Copies of this chain bind each other. A is one copy, B any other.
Amino acid sequence: MGQLTTFTQVKDGSIVTPKGFSAGGVHCGLKKTDRHDLGAILCEVPAVAAAVYTTNVFQAAPLKVTRESLRSGTLQAVIVNSGNANACTGQQGEADAYDMRAAAARHLGVAEQDVAVASTGVIGELLKMDRVNAGIESLPPRLSSANSGAEDFSQAILTTDLVKKEACVSVLVNGKEVTIGGAAKGSGMIHPNMATMLAFMTTDAAIDQEALQQLMRQATDVTFNMITVDGDTSTNDMLIAMASGLAGNEVLTPAHPDWEPFAEGFTYVCRSLAQAIARDGEGATKLVEVSVTGAVSDLSARAIAKTVIGSSLVKSAVFGADANWGRIIAAVGRAGEPVNPETVDIRLGDISVLEQSRPVAFDEDEALAYLKGDTVRIVVDLHGGAGQATAWGCDLTYDYVRINAAYRT
């Protein structure tokens, strides 16, 4: 059962649950371990598609290629590698991304212009194209529409991630069951801005391309763009959605009577993936959720929530289960947003620690027990308006430092 009545979570659902999609993943040798590092998604038909990309000035080669493929508004396949971002690799990098697209198109039997390319991993090293090409050849020519295919794909896109991130919901549109699936990778260099790490969504809904693009932007603003692991925005962030249209519904646009439940389901999948990325941030031991209410606008609330969730001091305190609300209010106060310094409430879960900007006596043991849980909710009410937002992140731990002190070597 879903959390909302408008859509239903699909247990064990994945990116191959929507009709028409198959997926796969293999190890081709870009990662030093024997984990999967090359994956693909295939659709039986050209799918209506949309994407959002990183706002980083330095956009990796595969993003250029994917932009070009998406000009037509359709995609039939996605090819992804992990272990190497193919970023800052110049003309050779761009040629490699085009070659990767061509090889995938040949092997999967689709048009080059209908293939998106994505890469994630180390910046500034050329792809080992012999391995990439051999990997593409080793993908089963017919990818699997069973969950094992999605599982292989989800594994292939991970870098320092510890767990795969998947979500799936179903919605009724004109009485037809429409499903929406998603897979993502995250972990480090996570502070999306108008875009996100790598995330892939599939749906069998029939949907207008512009409507899909617009929905994606809206959903991204309140989900992927509201997470941070370390404040660093990657050069390779990309979210791609493909809609096969095989569910048989009337084409979805915002004017469709069932648009709301579809949009909510779509946003729910985005939020689930975003939360999963935050919880599995590099070195993280817990998910941190910051909700801001009473801001002058939603945009203002977003900026404040992201400042708090991004504070190294707040993140360290959460790791240490220290109810150090002074760091929370310090972060609220430096966000550059309108805040009345006399009217702020802060709660840790249900424990009130600050009311009208004055400390509240609270049970330290109770707070300690709460902060030791695997999900910590920080609630800030500014009493200054109707703006609200929620952001997600994780704690800052020894393991984050360990992982990133020796990532490249």
- Give A residues with C-beta under 8 Å from B: 55-59, 85, 87-90, 122-125, 188-189, 191, 193, 230-235, 310-313, 316-317, 319-320, 322-327, 329-334, 339, 341, 354, 357-359, 396-398, 400-409
Task: With both chains docked as a complex, state the minimum distance between the C-beta of A198 and any C-beta of chain B, in angstroms.
Answer: 15
Tell whether A57 pairs with B332 under 8 Å between CB atoms, given A322-B406, A401-B401: yes
Q: Residues of B contacting A231 with CB < 8 Å?
A: 231, 310-312
Q: Residues of B contacting A323 with CB < 8 Å?
A: 408
B404 touches A331 (CB 8 A): no
Interface of A is mostly: loop
The CA-CA distance from A409 to B321 in the complex, in Å, is 10
Task: With both chains docked as a complex, state the minimum distance between the C-beta of A144 and any C-beta of chain B, in angstroms.
Answer: 34
Closest B residue to A231 using CB positions: B312
The CA-CA distance from A85 to B88 in the complex, in Å, is 45
Task: With both chains docked as a complex, state the minimum distance between the C-beta of A332 and any C-beta of chain B, in angstroms.
Answer: 7
A407 touches B57 (CB 8 A): no
Q: Residues of B contacting A397 with CB < 8 Å?
A: 401
Tell whether A332 pairs with B401 under 8 Å between CB atoms, given A230-B313, A312-B230, A359-B88: no
Closest B residue to A57 using CB positions: B333
Closest B residue to A318 using CB positions: B405
Q: Which of B230, B330, B402 contacts A232 (CB 8 A)?
A: B330
The CA-CA distance from A333 to B124 in the complex, in Å, is 14
Task: With both chains docked as a complex, state the minimum distance between the C-beta of A151 and any C-beta of chain B, in angstroms.
Answer: 29
The CA-CA distance from A278 to B334 in the complex, in Å, is 20
Q: Residues of B contacting A232 with CB < 8 Å?
A: 311-313, 327, 330-331, 334
